[in-house]
Structure 1
Amino acid sequence: MVSTSSTTGSSRQHDQPPLPFDGQFYNPTPRHCQCVDKKPAVQFVSWTRANPMRRFTVCPLRFSNPNGKCELYQWNDPDFSEFQKKTMQKLREKIISLENEVSRLEAEVAHMDELATNVAKLREIVAEKDLLLQGKNDLLDKLQEEVKVKKTEICCFPMQLLYFSSVILLACWCYPFVASVE
């Protein structure tokens, strides 16, 4: 079993590895711990500032039972120079910085996708409102035309009444003459 871990002396602090696990680089020497039940040893990778990317082999119970009697703790890789440690730490920080930037950009893209979806929905709503408004404008035009016709009819009514009254008056006035001719 291979895992990643960060340890400093007796205190235990776990840092996330900046790189995904790649089993081809971890080939622990098959060993058994010195416990009574002789469990198979496990390999971890240290991500501390003091021992970056350094593999070590320990008893599987070492971190779950720090008071245990097993003494198996062996470095599998040689210690790095200070230059190598600082370089690896800078690279690790750069990887973490880039991962954070990628996460931020992914969140920004997701937000922009959400905004684009909202814009599309708003455009649909505007199109529906425009269609409804066009229908209302058509109805308004029709009603205005009807009002014009009614106004014309109302305006012409007195003229029609005048003509009709004139005809009746003329008929009444002419009736005695027409009746006497017969």
Structure 2
Amino acid sequence: MAAINYQEPIPVECKCKLPLMELTSWTLTNPCRRFLVCPNRYKIGLKKCKKFYWYDPELDNEWYRRHLYGMYEQLNPHQIQDLATEISSHEQLIILQDEFPGLQAELA
């Protein structure tokens, strides 16, 4: 993961020549910390681009990190279940995509 030198201009595109997306991390280690990624990072079936830049500096105080994350959890109590469901759906899709060529060959 590349850190941004805050004295240099923030990158606006990756090596794929696509504009970088700004997202926000809500993990316990990086709550409310923005980052930039290539849109190809999350596309299924494409060559994934791994460009990643932290937009915000790291919080250097563990107390602030824990409290920010705790506030986030209080405001979003169902997100953990929603994310688990989404991950399960993605995993099922990947399995089906892997099995599809074999099933297609059997039918031919």
Task: Give the TM-score, by structure 2 length.
Answer: 0.53
Identity of aligned residues (%): 35
Is the alpha carbon distance of 1:79 and 1:63 closer, same or farther for their aligned partners in structure 2, counting shifts above 3 Å? same
Structure number having the greater helix percentage: 1
SS at match of 2:12: coil
- Following superposition, which runs of at least 4 residues in structure 1 exceed 2 angstroms of deviation? 65-71, 93-97
Which one has a bigger Cα radius of gyration? 1
Whole-Å separation in 1 of the counterparts to 2:45 and 2:58: 24
Whole-Å separation in 1 of the counterparts to 2:45 and 2:26: 20
SS at match of 2:36: strand
Whole-Å separation in 1 of the counterparts to 2:11 and 2:58: 21
Aligned residue for 1:170?
none
Q: Of the two structures, which has the highest relative contact order with CA contacts closer than 8 Å and spacing of 6 or more?
A: 2
SS at match of 1:61: helix
Counterpart selection for 2:34 from 34, 38, 55 = 55
Q: Is the 8 A contact 1:34 1:71 kept in 2?
A: no
Aligned residue for 1:86?
66
Residues paired across the two proteins, number: 69
Deviations 1:52-101 (A, max 9, x none): 1110001011111587353310000111121111010121123235x9xx
Is the alpha carbon distance of 1:66 and 1:31 closer, same or farther for their aligned partners in structure 2, counting shifts above 3 Å? farther
Aligned residue for 2:56?
77
Is the alpha carbon distance of 1:66 and 1:84 closer, same or farther for their aligned partners in structure 2, counting shifts above 3 Å? farther
Task: Give the TM-score, by structure 1 length.
Answer: 0.33
Runs of at least 5 residues in structure 2 that lack an aligned partner in the other structure = 2-9, 79-108
Deviations 1:88-115 (A, max 9, x none): 0121123235x9xxxxxxxxxxxxxxxx
Once superposed, what is the RMSD of the aligned Cα atoms?
2.7
Aligned residue for 1:33?
14
